Amino acid sequence: MPQFKQFNPPAQGEPIRLVDGKLNVPDHPIIPFIEGDGTGPDIWRASQRVFDAAVEKVYGGRRKIAWYEVYAGEKAFNLFQEWLPEDTLTALTEYIVSIKGPLTTPVGGGIRSLNVALRQELDLYVCQRPVRYFQGVPSPVKHPELVDMVIFRENSEDIYAGVEWAEGTPEVKKVIEFLQKEMGVKKIRFPETSGIGIKPVSREGTERLVRAAIEYALRHKRKSVTLVHKGNIMKFTEGAFKNWGYELAEREYADKTFTWAQYDRIKAERGQEAADAAQKEAVAAGKLIIKDVIADAFLQQVLTRPAEYDVIATMNLNGDYISDALAAQVGGIGIAPGANINYVTGHAVFEATHGTAPKYAGLDKVNPGSVILSGVMMFEYMGWQEAADAITRALERTIADKVVTYDFARLMEGAKEVKTSEFADAIIANL
């Protein structure tokens, strides 16, 4: 039993464990949750009711979650004068599976991102964000149903590592001097007034992310994994990501994949026809295609030919942009779920793609779909597939009935606009 200093787990319930690489989920698992800042409390309250109702409906009392509230962000600061109390990290570590609402990060100063800190502390190296269309959701494109992608965003390095120095400080002066004098760097355009950020991208970090994406694609019989990068410009970080990704696929999954690096080699040796034939043969044999695309081209192609993309593996910043862009394409960030996962230790923190939407805080207004669908991902991860399916079906039915929150209502004809809590009521009624 771990030692907690400020807040304790519920008296009832048992921890989820990882046994021989597999999650062992008891019928009454203790699951820590962080309510979140801004609209977080509204969304969380609604989502928690949906989760409990679905579990009750599907398992009839045999299974029940023992929720354990832990704190981060403004609520933690108000209660304990700490943004991220140690007990929270202990709980997320001990109980393995958890779920959170969004947390505020000030721009340009103040605390660094607590979301990024949680991912780094627990080494949750995959940010997994599925993007699919739900029938009836208003979308800005003609064929949103062609979007069915799962983003694997590297979550532990890149420019998000937080290695940066502010303009005008002695530290940045030292870094710039080092770069100029010791490394012969001549290309810093305005050295006297620059801030500096460092972008670490490693072979290990890339390999574990791409491995997770390939494993997922093979498990779910997906067609391709696309490495999205800006390797033409950032050759030793984003370009290396692409090369390491291909090398990993060819080394560890040689009999299950066909890569565009192989395609290029065949083309160089025997011509395009031979390369096309080899790829066709690989597809016919059910092999997973590993390909790559430059990030800007990717962002236009997901709009013009989304059916060509399936599982996406990319670095941290690209993945952040891509997540919101794809979410918008299928009808908005209000129903974009996600998970931060370490596939080796089993640790997973489920959370929406969006942030705290502060202008709507406390209004019982925004869409809780994103956290509800993050809960669906959590139930799938726990092996509680029946609860996951029941919630998905009820959500689909509610949207088909045109009972929706403001974000969908403003774009739909004949919709009934409801509050966050009422949307949850409607889903529960449809379970």
Ligand X SMILES: NC(=O)C1=CN([C@@H]2O[C@H](COP(=O)(O)OP(=O)(O)OC[C@H]3O[C@@H](n4cnc5c(N)ncnc54)[C@H](OP(=O)(O)O)[C@@H]3O)[C@@H](O)[C@H]2O)C=CC1
Q: Which residues are annotated as a binding site?
A: 104, 113, 115, 119, 129, 153, 320, 354-360, 367, 406, 410
The answer to the question of residue 75 lying near ligand X (CB under 6 A) is: no
**Binding-site residues from annotation for D-threo-isocitrate:** 113, 115, 119, 129, 153
Subset of residues 24 to 63 that bind ligand X, contact rule: CB under 6 A: 43
Nearest residue to 130 via CA among 376, 317, 305? 376
The enclosing H or E element of 197 equals strand 196-197
Distances (CA, A) of 211 to 22, 87, 115, 153, 371: 17, 32, 23, 12, 26
The answer to the question of residue 105 lying near ligand AKG (CB under 6 A) is: yes
The answer to the question of residue 84 lying near ligand X (CB under 6 A) is: no
Least Å distance between CB 124 and ligand AKG? 11
66/371 with CB nearer ligand X:
371
Contact code string over 290-329 relative to Mg ion, x by CB under 5 A: ------------------------------x---------
| Residues 158 and 127: beta-carbon distance below 8 Å | no
Nearest residue to 16 via CA among 383, 323, 318? 383
90/113 with CB nearer ligand AKG:
113
Least Å distance between CB 114 and ligand AKG? 7
Least Å distance between CB 144 and ligand AKG? 21
Subset of residues 324 to 353 that bind ligand X, contact rule: CB under 6 A: 333-334, 351
The answer to the question of residue 104 lying near ligand X (CB under 6 A) is: yes
Handedness of CA 115, 116, 117, 118 (dihedral sign): positive
Least Å distance between CB 354 and ligand X? 3
Binds 116: which of Mg ion, ligand X, ligand AKG, none (CB < 5-8 Å by kind): ligand AKG
Which residues are known catalytic residues?
A: 160, 230, 296, 320
Structure token pair of residue 382: 């726990």
42/157 with CB nearer ligand X:
42
**Which residue is associated with the tokens 């089993």?**
346
Binds 88: which of ligand AKG, ligand X, Mg ion, none (CB < 5-8 Å by kind): none
Distances (CA, A) of 405 to 16, 167, 338, 368, 411: 34, 43, 20, 9, 11
Paired strand residues for 149: 131
Burial 269-289 (b: 16+ CB within 10 A, else e): eeeeeebeebbeebeeeebbb
| Beta strands in 246-385, from DSSP E residues, in sequence order | 257-259, 288-294, 311-314, 339-341, 348-351
The answer to the question of residue 351 lying near Mg ion (CB under 5 A) is: no
| Residues 382 and 58: beta-carbon distance below 8 Å | no
3-state SS assignment for residue 224: strand
Among 16, 30, 31, 116, binds ligand AKG (CB under 6 A): 116
275/333 with CB nearer ligand X:
333
The answer to the question of residue 354 lying near ligand X (CB under 6 A) is: yes
**Binding-site residues from annotation for Mg(2+):** 320
The answer to the question of residue 128 lying near ligand X (CB under 6 A) is: no
Nearest residue to 67 via CA among 82, 55, 56, 52? 52
Structure token pair of residue 5: 């200093």
Least Å distance between CB 310 and ligand X? 24
User: Applying CB under 5 A, what is the total number of residues that bind Mg ion?
Assistant: 1
Q: How far is 156 from 275, CA to CA, in rounded Å?
A: 36
Least Å distance between CB 28 and Mg ion? 34
Pairing of strands 196-197, 288-294: unpaired
Contact code string over 336-375 relative to ligand AKG, x by CB under 6 A: -----------------x-x--------------------
Least Å distance between CB 361 and ligand X? 10
The answer to the question of residue 115 lying near ligand AKG (CB under 6 A) is: yes
3-state SS assignment for residue 201: coil
Instruction: List contacts with ligand X (CB under 6 A).
Output: 43, 102-105, 115, 333-334, 351, 354-358, 366-367, 370, 407
Instruction: List contacts with ligand AKG (CB under 6 A).
Output: 105, 113, 115-116, 320, 323, 353, 355
